[in-house]
Amino acid sequence: MLGVIGLALLGVPRVIAHDLEVVGPAANALLVWAPLTVWVVVALWRRVPNPLLTLMAVGVAYGALLGVTHQVLWAWAFDTPPALGGNLQGVLPPAVEALAVRGFSLVSSLAVGTLVGTGCGVVAWLVSRAVPGYPRTAA
Residue 60 included in any domain: yes
Indicate if the pLDDT at residue 85 is higher than 90. no
Cβ neighbourhood burial of 94 (10 Å; 0-12, 13-18, 19+) = exposed
Amino acid at 76: W
| Structure confidence at residue 10 (pLDDT) | 98
Per the structure, the count of domains in the chain is: 1
Q: Which pTM was predicted?
A: 0.89
- Spatial separation of the C-alpha atoms in residues 105 and 98, rounded to whole Å: 10
Model confidence over 49-75: pLDDT tens digits?
Answer: 999 999 999 999 999 999 999 999 998
Residue 135 included in any domain: no
Query: Domain limits at 60?
Result: 2-130
- Spatial separation of the C-alpha atoms in residues 139 and 68, rounded to whole Å: 33
| Structure confidence at residue 89 (pLDDT) | 84
Residue 139 included in any domain: no
Secondary structure class of 132 (helix, strand, coil)? coil
Residue 71 included in any domain: yes
- Spatial separation of the C-alpha atoms in residues 72 and 93, rounded to whole Å: 22
Residue 104 included in any domain: yes
CB 22 within 8 A of CB 73: no
**Bigger pLDDT: 86 vs 69:** 69
CB 134 within 8 A of CB 128: yes
